Amino acid sequence: MKVEPQANIDAKEFVKLTFGKTRILLPAEELLTIEPGNSVSQPQDVNDIHGRITINHTDIHVYAFDDDLRLQPVMDNQRQVCVCLGNGHGQIGILCDDANAITLNEIKLRDLPACMHTNDSVIFAIAENNNNLYCISKTADLVQLINTPYQD
């Protein structure tokens, strides 16, 4: 485990997603739009895990996660906000409790400690800013979670 800062960044734009007490930062350039959760269409088939939202005439699949980023059925999910994300390879919506674009100054990026890595890790760095800590991830890593069963 390295304890020294991996890198310092003067300022960086992020979108912050909140799932209960879990806070995740994604690159701001991957943010398409933030919509109210009630604009997400519920799955028509009870077996469908995802809902849908239409952004710029495009249907986007919407997924829900619990606080540990385990995939949950969108049906009857209580999250209030839908964050629509795109990384050039596709678009998805993610339900969360809160989301907002933020600018953080003087971030220290640190490696995730070695004992915290798992086969399905999606957090590889922790950002420190003004004594606050944030998990850093990317849309592509969250998409990977949708395709990967949760491993206990």
CB atoms within 10 A of CB 124: 15
Within positions 84 to 113, which residues make up the interface with another protein, using CB under 8 A?
110, 112-113
- Interface with another protein includes 3 (CB under 8 A)? yes
Residue 133 as a binder of another protein (CB under 8 A): the answer is yes
Token pair of 89, please?
Answer: 């390879």
**Any contact of residue 8 with another protein (CB under 8 A)?**
no
Give CA separation, 126 vs 38, 40, 136, in Å: 31, 31, 6
Amino acid at 23: R
| Nearest CA-CA partner of 17 in 81, 109, 68, 92 | 81
Q: Closest distance between another protein and the C-beta of residue 81, in Å?
A: 17
Q: Of 60 and 122, which has the nearer Cβ to another protein?
A: 122
Please give the Cα distance from 110 to 127 (Å, whole number). 6
The least CB distance from residue 41 to another protein, in Å, is: 26
Q: How much of the chain is helix, strand and coil, in % rounded to 5?
A: 10, 50, 40
Residue 51 token pair: 């809902």
Q: Does 149 bind another protein (CB under 8 A)?
A: no
**Residue at token pair 């088939």:** 45
| Interface pick for another protein out of 123, 129, 139, 143 (rule CB under 8 A) | 123
Q: Which stretch binds another protein (CB under 8 A): 16-24, 50-58, 77-85, 89-97?
A: 16-24
- Binding of another protein at residue 68 (CB under 8 A)? yes
Contacts with another protein by CB under 8 A lie at: 1-3, 19-24, 66-69, 110, 112-118, 120-123, 126, 128, 131, 133-135, 145, 152
